[in-house]
Amino acid sequence: MSWNVHIIQRKTKTYVSLKKNTRVGKKIISDYIYLGPAIDAVKILTELQVKPLIDEREISYSGEMILEKIADSIGLTGVLEKHTGDDRVARVLRNIIILRTIFPESKRKLVEVRLKHSVLKDSTELKYLGEVYRFMDKICNNLDDITYDLVKNAIKNHPIGLKYLIIDATRIKIWKDKETGLVRFGYSSRNELKSLPQVNLVLGVSEQHIPLFAKVYPGNMQDVKMFDDFIHRINTRYKSLTEKIKEKFIIFDQGNVNKDNIKYLRKLQEQGIYFVSMMKTNSARRFIEKVDISSMPLIYSHEKSENVRTEIYGKIIKGVLYGKQSRVLICYNPDLMEQKCKTLDRRVNAVRQAVKSEKKEDEVRWLISKYNLKRILKYTENKGKSELQTDYNEIKSRKDRYGFFVLFTGHSGLSAEEVLAIYKSRGVVEEGFRALKSDMAIDPVYHSKDMRIETHTVMVVLGYLLMSILRAILAREGIEHSFGGLSETIRSGNAVEGFYEHERLKNRLHIWRPIKPEPDLEAIFRALGIKVPLFDVKEVVPTNSGAC
C-alpha cells in the first residue's frame, strides 16, 4: 500500500508523519516516517511533490501496467514457463515482448536503455544482453504451441468472436548476408533495398483483428503451398480451436490468380476452407457485360461523412471460371467510377500538355506508357510538328467499365452481401500487417540465425495479440482507437523516480512521483480496472547507504 499523511494531535501541537499499513496474515502492521511539527512537515510534503530529486530519472509505467494486465489475463508467463521449464526465462521473455510492443526498438536498446527506465526493471532478472537471445532460442521449437495456448486462454477469458477466420500472407524483410533456410532465394523485386532477403508471414485473424494463428515460411515459397501447409497444420494440430470457427476463408490476392492456383485452392474446400478473390480485369469483362446497372440491388452502404455515402451495387451470377462453375459477384461502385474517370481525364490532359509544351518525344512516350494510355493516345510527328491522336471510342469503353469489380468464390451458399463483406474483411488482416510493419516495426529483422528470425517475428505477433485483445476490450466499453493511436496513448504515462533527503529525516526516501496522465489514458485505466498510480514513497534508505 502507499504511504498516507498521518496527523498526530497533541494538546498544544500537531505533528505529522507518513503512515503505511501492511497486512500480515490477519494482522495489520503500520510503519511510520516522522516528518516533525506541522509547519516543518508542510514544507517537507511540498518539497516531496515538486523539488528535484537526487539521481532523478524518468520511468515509463502506463504501457507496461496495461499490457501486463492483458498478458496476465491470458496467462502469458505461465504459458512461457510451461514451454521453457524456467520461471526466470518466462518472465524475461514476457517483459521483452511487452517492452517491444510499447517501444518497437532493437533488443539491445530495450535491455540497455528502456528496461532501466521502466517499471518492469524490478521483475526482469536479466544478467546480460546475450541471455535474451539464448532465451529466444529456448522457445523456437514451440512457437506454434505457445500461440495456440495463449489464444485458447484469450477465448476462455475474453468475448472473442469466432465468426470468421481470415487468412493472408505478407513479406518480412531480413537484413542478413547468407541465403540459408528461411531466407533462401526469398527476394522481393518490389523492395527498395533489393539486396534484402525476406521471409513470409501467414496470419489467421478473427473478425476482431485477433491473430489466432501465425506461421513463418521461407521467402521463396509459393502462396498456395504456404496456405496448404498452414491450413493442414491448424486443421490437424489445433482442430479443437478451428472447429469453433464458423467459417474459414482465404482472401486470395488478385495478382496470384491463375488456373493452377485456383485449382489448388479448390482442393482446400474439402477441409472446410473457402477462398474469395477478385477477378483479373481481362477475365472480368465478359461477366460485366452480362449485367444491367439499373437492375443491380444495393448490397453495401457506408456513411463517409455528413450527407456523403459510399454505395455498392451487386448481383450474383453463376459462371464457369478456370474450368469449373463458380459463384461470381459483379459489383458496381459509382464513387469508384467517378474517381477513375477523373484520373483518366487528368492523365490524358497531362500528356496533351506535354505535347503542347513541346516536350521531347521520349518524355511524351514515357508519359503515355506510365499512364497506360498506349491504346488511347498515339504520338506522331508530321512535318516536324508533334501531334497526338486520340481514340475517343477507347476512352468511352474504359469509362463504361470503370466502377466495376468482380469477386468469385467456390462457396455456393453465400449471398452477395456476404461475399462482399468477406472480401472487405481482407482489410482486417491488411490492417494487422500495416500495424506490424509500421507501428510495431517488425522489419527489417537484424538477427543472423533462422531460428531467431522466426522467433522474433512470432514474438512481435504476440505483442500484436496483446494489443488486439486490448482494443477489443476497449471497444466493448465504447472506447475506439486506431492501432497507432492506442500505442501512443498507452505509453504516454510516465513518472519521476529518485531520492529525497532532509535534515529532519533519519533516512533518505525513495520517491515515486507520477506525472498526471491524460484523460484518454485515465479512461483506459478505468476500463481495465487498474488504479492510476499515485505519489508514493517506495522504500526508506539509510542516509549513509548511498543511492542505488
Q: What is the pLDDT of residues 388-435, one digit of tens each?
A: 899 999 999 889 889 999 999 988 888 999 999 888 877 778 888 888
Residue 185 has pLDDT above 80, yes or no: no
Residue 55 has pLDDT above 70, yes or no: yes
Q: How confident is the model at residue 177 (pLDDT cuts 50, 70, 90)?
A: low
Tell me, what DSSP letter sits at residue 187? Answer: B
| Distinct helix (H) and strand (E) counts, the chain | 19, 18
Domains in the chain, start-ordered, CATH in brackets? 4-56+497-514+524-545 (no CATH), 158-333+404-446 (3.90.350), 336-401 (no CATH)
**Most confident stretch, 76-85, 231-240, 249-258, 492-501:** 76-85
Q: What residues contact residue 330 under an 8 Å CB cut-off, 6+ apart?
A: 287, 288, 290, 291, 296, 314, 315, 317, 404, 406
- Strands 198-206, 164-173: pairing kind: antiparallel
Minimum mean pLDDT range among 205-209, 327-331, 425-429, 450-454: 425-429
pTM beyond 0.85: the answer is no
pLDDT value of position 94:
96
* Distance set, CA 134 to CA 71, 76, 451, 459, 495 (Å): 22, 19, 11, 14, 32
SS3 of 266, please? helix
pLDDT value of position 179:
57
Q: What residues contact residue 472 under an 8 Å CB cut-off, 6+ apart?
A: 158, 159, 160, 208, 209, 210
Residues facing residue 199 across a β-bridge: 172
Could you report the per-residue pLDDT of 213-243, keeping only the tens digit for each? Answer: 999 998 888 888 888 888 888 888 888 888 8
* Distance set, CA 223 to CA 106, 162, 454 (Å): 30, 24, 18
SS3 of 304, please? strand
| Residue with more model confidence, 458 or 252 | 458
Residue 412: burial class (beta carbons within 10 Å; 0-12, 13-18, 19+): exposed
Residue 20 has pLDDT above 50, yes or no: yes
Residues facing residue 302 across a β-bridge: 310
Could you report the per-residue pLDDT of 350-396, keeping only the tens digit for each? Answer: 999 998 888 888 888 999 999 999 999 998 887 778 888 999 999 99
Give the mean pLDDT of the chain: 87
Residue 548 has pLDDT above 50, yes or no: no
Q: How confident is the model at residue 285 (pLDDT cuts 50, 70, 90)?
A: confident
Whose cell is 517492452? That residue is 99
Could you report the per-residue pLDDT of 436-464, keeping only the tens digit for each? Answer: 998 998 888 888 788 899 999 999 999 99
Q: How confident is the model at residue 546 (pLDDT cuts 50, 70, 90)?
A: very low
pLDDT value of position 119:
92
What is the C-alpha to C-alpha distance for residues 245 and 204, in angstroms, rounded to an integer?
11
